[in-house]
Amino acid sequence: MTSAATAPLLRRLNAETVLNVLRDVEAIRHTELADAAGLSRPTVDAVIEDLRRIGLIAEVEDDTPGRRGRPARLVRFRAERGHVVGIDIGVHKCMVSVADLRGVVLTTQVRSLGQELGRKERLDGVRKAVREALKQARVERSAVLAACAATPGIVDPRTGVVLTCDVLPDWKGLNLRAVLGRSFGAPVLADNDANLAVVGERWRGVASTSEDVIYVLAGERLGAGIVSGGQVFRGHDGGAGEMSFLSLLEHTPGAEGIGALASHIGKEVVARLREHTSSLTGDAALLLAAARDGDTEAQQVLEEILARIARAIGTMALLLNPELIVIGGGVAAAGEQIAEPIRRRLPRMTSLPPRLEVSALGDKAVTVGALRTALDSVESSLLDNLNA
């Protein structure tokens, strides 16, 4: 049942709208703040006092020249009040970003991880990457107010437990919140990587104006993050957006993602290409490069692969009717070479075809979304203690 709506709730709500104004601005006069927030002056003053007490804002000198009248006091958001950490745990690498409370990224560290690493070794790698990043950003561990970790697989966002994970088999059953929580004195959140990527893309990417978005993480795996009405769609166990069984490869279960498709469908072509190159890039990248160079066989295989992926994306577009689909993950680097053939096919599969764009954040989308999620958690818990 809903608890009683009592007066402090108003303060909390108004503090929230004031913060929303403050976060997007360098410094602001009390008067302007009142106007922008749609609140009266005394209310804003009271809110400011509250926020100052918990360290979220500070006073600043008004050095604007040529202003007459009594000089105004300015307030600014104290982004340095604390920091958040965003962690993207992948199969081959781990990316860690550190940001201040405004979300300004101080550093992003990437650490490569062996694909065959066990649970403990992988977690050690993650912890080392975090330590490295914090050192680089000159942020004390005690200054971290929240962290958020992304992982492939299905994560129960309430508990932080990895329910299933195809690509990291021994990851299953891991309580990410608990094991990483010991590294911080702050709450650790955990979620699926595609879910966080769509949050990132909505915060600072191509989806910033859209409330109904699907982010397709197309790399070695294929997964989706779904946002509807501005809210992440997780499903009952956090498993929404899984595409593993979408029969991209008929009769080859378990082989998902563009890399796998390239290896299977274009086996001969890839083998031929591999002879003429010494690079260590994946099959997908090889195929894309060859197709760009005019290799007609490679182009044919690529078309076939993209047709299958388009079918999966079209299925989602039909069922979920998003406004926008964002292509992200490893293949996003190929840009329009990937996007255009998919976009071309969508109208055949749904009567209301969505826009389709390539990720603006690239492989950083996941950590950016993790940072945003951690920031939300920090702000809400700070506001919970307004009157304490």
Strands 355-358 and 161-164: unpaired
Interaction between residue 8 and DNA (CB under 7 A): yes
At which residue do the structure tokens 């072509």 appear? 269
Give whichever of 13 and 60 is closer to a copy of itself, judged by the CB atom. 13
From 110, 163, 333, 360, residue interacting with a copy of itself (rule: CB under 8 A): 163
Interaction between residue 72 and DNA (CB under 7 A): yes
The amino acid sitting at 219 is G
Interaction between residue 66 and DNA (CB under 7 A): yes
The CB-of-375 to DNA minimum distance in angstroms stands at 23
Tokens read off for 342: 């998919």
What residues contact 21, with CB distance under 8 A and at least 6 apart? 28, 33, 36, 37
Distance CA 131, CA 116 (A): 22
Number of alpha carbons in the 13 Å side-chain half-sphere of residue 9: 6
The CB-of-5 to a copy of itself minimum distance in angstroms stands at 4
Interaction between residue 125 and a copy of itself (CB under 8 A): no
Stretch that binds a copy of itself, among 182-190, 286-294, 315-323, 325-333 (CB under 8 A): 315-323
From 159, 175, 263, 321, residue interacting with a copy of itself (rule: CB under 8 A): 321
Q: For residue 58, which phi and psi values (nearest 5 degrees)?
A: -145, 155
Helix (H, G, I), strand (E, B) or coil at 92: coil
CB of 106 within 8 A of CB of 98?
A: yes
The CB-of-101 to a copy of itself minimum distance in angstroms stands at 21
Which run of H or E residues covers position 44?
helix 41-53
The CB-of-336 to a copy of itself minimum distance in angstroms stands at 23
Interaction between residue 244 and a copy of itself (CB under 8 A): yes
Distance CA 357, CA 343 (A): 9
Site residues for DNA per CB under 7 A? 4-8, 10-11, 13-14, 29-32, 39-43, 45-47, 66-73, 387
Task: Please give the residue ranges that form the binding site for a copy of itself (CB under 8 A).
Answer: 1-7, 9-10, 13-14, 16-17, 20, 36-40, 43, 154, 163-164, 210-212, 224, 228-229, 231, 233-246, 314-316, 318-323, 349-352, 354
